[in-house]
Structure 1
Amino acid sequence: MKTIELIAPCHFGLESVLKREIQDLGYEISQVEDGRVTFIGDMEAVSYANIFLRSAERILLKVGCVHAETFDELFERTKEIPWENYIPKNGKFWVTKATSIKSRLFSPSDIQSIMKKAMVERLKKVYGVSWFEEDGSEYPLRVFFMKDEAVIGIDTTGMSLHKRGYRLLQSKAPLSETLAAALIMLTPWKGDRILVDPFCGSGTFPIEAAMMAANIAPGMNRSFISESWDNLIPKRCWYDALDEARENIDDKAEVDIQGYDIDGDVVKSARENARAAGVEHMIHFQQRPVSELRHPKKYGFVITNPPYGERLEEKASLPALYREIGESYRNLDAWSMYLITSYEDAEKYIGRKADKNRKIYNGMIKTYFYQFMGPRPPKIKRSEEKSC
């Protein structure tokens, strides 16, 4: 198969996690930038990346880079791209999103309009038509302008990859599935260690952790816009990726994953979401406040997304809440705690400075991933093999 470049956008600050995931799939990284990782693969990589990557937001098929300081330049450079290699005669195409940073061309709507016109002009000549019905498969474009350089990609995903298909019900301020998965992968947690989320909300942290422990591919129960691209991606690529995803599932994985929330209705929603994800049997959900966070065993993990207090009336309750978090954590024996919050006084009221603090953007909100590291469990000594 022909080699192509694919672009995987992700949350700012989590590029290293996505890079490692892509490498684990066996693909070569060609570039890492703020908020996206570009890698080399083939058309089969489109299906594997969409189905297996946990921290990517979507997968784009890179079709070109152009330099443009005027709209005339943008029109001409866009027209030079061989769109006929990607979009068939009946294809539906449009620029679904344009972003611009430090560039002379900064109007998203104008960028979208000019590029569409340029594509139409080229394809009219190539296909010998004066009008496009656009009643076939969809080929939405995304454009990233940075200092007058535009990277252009065709979206192979459709609905964002955080739409795993299991979150039927959600709490007021849910954490996206892709962000939750990336944050778990930033920790040393593995399926043989205890994991508790005392502010589980929709259950995203426990569900994503259970899916990792059972080796359930995040995209195996949803569809993708490029599945209908018969001109580019053979159907067998999707069948092969799905077959491999099903074969990899470990239904018998034994884990200790727990999710608590003070709101009983929210806990019911989390259970429903876990059932939809196929991991309900792996997670213990319970209505319980963080002040009652207890566990008899050592070396566990708290991974959680406590309230931020974004609304003014909620901010007054944050000091007491974060004191409770700190007290409960101190009562756990040799545990680690990882929490994401925009509350800048979190360490002050928890009563301990984090060992590491990582800045991450959750949408437009600047958050901090505080990492309080406990001791590692002792290594289990292997019994000496008996001599023959």
Structure 2
Amino acid sequence: MNETFLATAPFGLEAVVARELEELGFHERSVENGRVFFSADALGALRSNLWLRTADRVLWVVGQFEARTFDELFEGVKALPWADWLPRNAHFPVEGRSVKSQLSSVPACQSIVKKAIATKLSQTYHDSWLEETGPTYAIEVSLLKDQVTLAIDTSGPGLHKRGYRVQTGPAPIKETLAAALVLLSRWRSHRPFADPMCGSGTIAIEAAWIGAGIAPGLLRSFSMESFGWLSAKAIRQLRSEAEEIKANAPKLQILASDIDAQAVALTTQHAQLAGVAEYLHIAQQPLKRFDWNEPYGCLVSNPPYGERMGEDREVRLLYRELGEIMRKHETWSAFILTSHPLFERLYGKRSDKNRKLYNGRIECHFYQYLGPLPPLPQKQQEQIPPEKQ
């Protein structure tokens, strides 16, 4: 039986998450700010956790109602059949958020939801004391314009925690955002890919996982696996299918380079942990040494922003250098995430597209310079009718 789930998404990436869900076969979707609702069964929920690259987490929606007072919130929560979902010993922490609602105190809302769930479970299990020693069922209460949405977190730790990044550099980018940048570039595995300012290697590694078809959740577990919704056999089967896809990965041309030796060491370590070291060429070199004769490549990078005192001059020189390099690679496309307000002027060219995104709390723009697409292989050209060529 299908239930309603929602994939949470950073601002500006809702459409990317929705497209991922569509490609995974979840066709019943609706998009809101920061949330994409979709319909799935338990196996589909686990599959979404295993394969979504850009969502923050996947939540199971268990109740929606209107509440303008704390009494209405308490009674609305208490009316739900919590014992159908939570065992007697469930550990159920409550997180919350409130936007444009009369109930604006998030701590108070969390406390009331916790009390209401505990009251209902005590009544159902005929036990005045509930020991929260069992599996964790994290509850999220979200209030938007007095509309309450209650959901159970099926992911556990955020989906950006892939399991390969043990250390970070001075300006880390989340794995989910890195994957989004690659997906927005529309890069495909038959084209060269480069991040010549790779930091700890996150963008290049996410590109390798995308190009090789590796499920981003393959190295980790999810909280719903302890809920008893699925048999161990069903979970093993889903993961086994993902492993088979990984085993048939194509050859990739991916360069990850950086001027900093520590960054290169981190990239090497992370690539090994992610199982993609064979797909990456990792090098310590300054940006000015970037030169790749292969045509129709794709450069995606999150360079320094120059926000620390004394760094702006160096960053301005870096952006000018990047523009000069890309003008020598006429068939390449470039995609740059930065918060620097003068990036286009320093790069020397207006971007073809510009998308506002957030790197953590930093408002950035994703500047997109679109080079020509590579010609189709001869076999594919022969399949296109002459009038459409």
What TM-score, normalized by structure 1, do the two folds share?
A: 0.95
**What is aligned with 1:29?**
28
SS of the residue corresponding to residue 63 of structure 1 reads strand
Asked if 2 retains the 8 angstrom alpha-carbon contact of 1:6 and 1:40, the reply is: yes
Shift of 1:384: 6.8
Shift of 1:237: 3.2
**What is aligned with 2:353?**
356
SS of the residue corresponding to residue 158 of structure 1 reads coil
Tell me the distance in 2 between the aligned counterparts of 1:331 and 1:246: 40
- Match of residue 127, structure 1, among 125, 128, 131: 125
SS of the residue corresponding to residue 282 of structure 2 reads strand
Deviations 1:109-162 (A, max 9, x none): 111101001111111111111110111111111122111112111111111111
Tell me the distance in 1 between the aligned counterparts of 2:306 and 2:142: 33
Asked if 2 retains the 8 angstrom alpha-carbon contact of 1:124 and 1:131, the reply is: yes
SS of the residue corresponding to residue 139 of structure 1 reads coil
Is 1:376 matched with 2:373? yes
Deviations 1:248-305 (A, max 9, x none): 1145521110011110111011011000000001100111111221111211111000
Is 1:84 matched with 2:83? yes
Structure 1 alignment gaps of length 5 or more? none
SS of the residue corresponding to residue 172 of structure 2 reads coil
**What is aligned with 1:262?**
259
SS of the residue corresponding to residue 57 of structure 2 reads coil
Matches within 5 A, 1:105-144: 105-144=103-142
Tell me the distance in 1 between the aligned counterparts of 2:81 and 2:140: 16
SS of the residue corresponding to residue 347 of structure 1 reads helix
Matches within 5 A, 1:177-192: 177-192=175-190
Shift of 1:163: 0.6
Matches within 5 A, 1:35-184: 35-95=34-94, 97-184=95-182
Asked if 2 retains the 8 angstrom alpha-carbon contact of 1:8 and 1:57, the reply is: yes
**What is aligned with 1:365?**
362
Counterpart AA for 1:318: V
Counterpart AA for 1:136: G
Runs of 4+ deviating beyond 6 Å: none
**What is aligned with 1:315?**
312
Asked if 2 retains the 8 angstrom alpha-carbon contact of 1:17 and 1:182, the reply is: yes
Counterpart AA for 2:269: E
Deviations 1:139-191 (A, max 9, x none): 11112211111211111111111110011222111111111111111112101
How many residues of Structure 1 are paired with residues of Structure 2 in the alignment? 382
Shift of 1:62: 0.8
Shift of 1:228: 1.0
Asked if 2 retains the 8 angstrom alpha-carbon contact of 1:28 and 1:41, the reply is: no
Greater displacement, 188-197 / 250-259: 250-259
SS of the residue corresponding to residue 6 of structure 1 reads strand
- Match of residue 326, structure 2, among 320, 324, 329: 329
Asked if 1 retains the 8 angstrom alpha-carbon contact of 2:18 and 2:29, the reply is: no
SS of the residue corresponding to residue 138 of structure 1 reads coil
**What is aligned with 1:201?**
199
Is 1:301 matched with 2:298? yes
Asked if 1 retains the 8 angstrom alpha-carbon contact of 2:213 and 2:249, the reply is: no
Counterpart AA for 1:193: R
**What is aligned with 1:272?**
269
Shift of 1:3: 1.2
Shift in alpha-carbon separation, 1:313–1:106, aligned structure 2, 3 A: farther
Tell me the distance in 1 between the aligned counterparts of 2:382 and 2:68: 70
Tell me the distance in 1 between the aligned counterparts of 2:29 and 2:253: 38
Tell me the distance in 2 between the aligned counterparts of 1:222 and 1:384: 43
Tell me the distance in 2 between the aligned counterparts of 1:146 and 1:119: 21
Deviations 1:26-68 (A, max 9, x none): 1133320111111000011121111111111111111111211
Shift in alpha-carbon separation, 1:326–1:85, aligned structure 2, 3 A: same
Asked if 1 retains the 8 angstrom alpha-carbon contact of 2:336 and 2:368, the reply is: yes
SS of the residue corresponding to residue 110 of structure 1 reads helix
Shift of 1:10: 1.4
Deviations 1:95-118 (A, max 9, x none): 0x2111111111121111010011
Asked if 1 retains the 8 angstrom alpha-carbon contact of 2:156 and 2:222, the reply is: yes
Shift of 1:353: 0.2
Tell me the distance in 1 between the aligned counterparts of 2:382 and 2:55: 44
Tell me the distance in 2 between the aligned counterparts of 1:83 and 1:24: 33
- Match of residue 220, structure 1, among 218, 221, 236: 218
Asked if 2 retains the 8 angstrom alpha-carbon contact of 1:29 and 1:37, the reply is: no
Shift of 1:379: 2.4
Tell me the distance in 1 between the aligned counterparts of 2:6 and 2:376: 40
SS of the residue corresponding to residue 30 of structure 2 reads strand
Deviations 1:331-371 (A, max 9, x none): 11311000111111100100000000001122211111100
Tell me the distance in 1 between the aligned counterparts of 2:247 and 2:295: 25
Greater displacement, 237-246 / 297-306: 237-246
Shift of 1:197: 0.2
SS of the residue corresponding to residue 92 of structure 1 reads coil
**What is aligned with 2:386?**
none
What TM-score, normalized by structure 2, do the two folds share?
A: 0.95
Asked if 2 retains the 8 angstrom alpha-carbon contact of 1:215 and 1:250, the reply is: no
**RMSD, aligned CA:** 1.5
